[in-house]
Amino acid sequence: MLLLIAMAYAGVYAGVGFGVDVSGEPARDRLAALFTTLFLDNRSFPMFAILFGYGMAWMVSRQRAKGTSDREVRRLLRRRGFFLLLFGAVHALLVFPGEILTSYGLAALVTGWLLLRSEKAIVRAAVVFAVFYAITVPVAMVGMSVGSATQGPEAFALPGYLTVEDWIGRVVGLPFGPVFIAFAYPLLLLVVLGYRAGRAGLLDDPAGTPPPRSRPRRSPCHTRSEWALGREVARAAGAGPVHARPALRGGPGRTRTPHHRRW
């Protein structure tokens, strides 16, 4: 995911904005633009936003499980949002004006209260944001296309560091970056969908397996490979080692093989 984000922003650092028209460019550039749109712009950005919302929901559920009051949880959410704004603002000023941390901080402050409401409230908010972005995203994309056509690549050029005008541009642009991203891209919708996924616990047990009776019959080699893969995924997710279940070691209806004995 981090590699995909780095690739997605490589063009911005080269002075080319998102969604630039390449219809008149060579075939290799059109192919690169297609790849970027499908696997970077429309894959890495949504996944990060959803995972951010999922992590927020997971944090709230852990705090509530420990008996933390809603007032304290609300304070924790606000603190996380403000710190994201702070870190993002520093990074936007010194490195990249389109820093996404500020947008995540804004999303946490605007939508974090939903984590203390019912699932129906989260679903209703997702519907409202979907309607909202059905209007704002096309408008923003058209505006970016018009700016690129009228001003050229300079419309998306990043401010430098050598002149007073460069630093003024960086300071003035600080509050506009997160607001623009929140309107031009479905950030708030994706974060709220992450809230809903976190409530449902869709990623809480990446190595979980269904009950033996509901599993289709597979060869021992396939089952062993899947279990090993699930174990490594669980370790990567910080869940610790996952032990093989009895059914995976040769339960009823399965033929014992040397693979089973080596487990």
Domain boundaries, the chain: 2-200, 212-262
pLDDT, residue 162, reads 85
pLDDT, residue 212, reads 46
DSSP 243: P
pLDDT, residue 207, reads 65
Which amino acid appears at position 148 of this protein? S
* C-beta of residue 111 within 8 angstroms of C-beta of residue 192: yes
How are the residues of the chain apportioned to helix, strand and coil, as percentages rounded to the nearest 5?
75, 0, 25
Mean pLDDT by 10 residues, the chain (263 residues): 78 67 82 81 81 94 91 94 93 84 93 93 95 92 77 67 86 86 91 93 69 44 41 42 42 38 34
pLDDT, residue 87, reads 93
What residues have CB less than 8 Å from 119, skipping those under 6 apart?
A: 196, 199
Q: How far apart are CA 263 and CA 253, in angstroms?
A: 18
Q: How far apart are CA 253 and CA 246, in angstroms?
A: 13
pLDDT, residue 196, reads 94
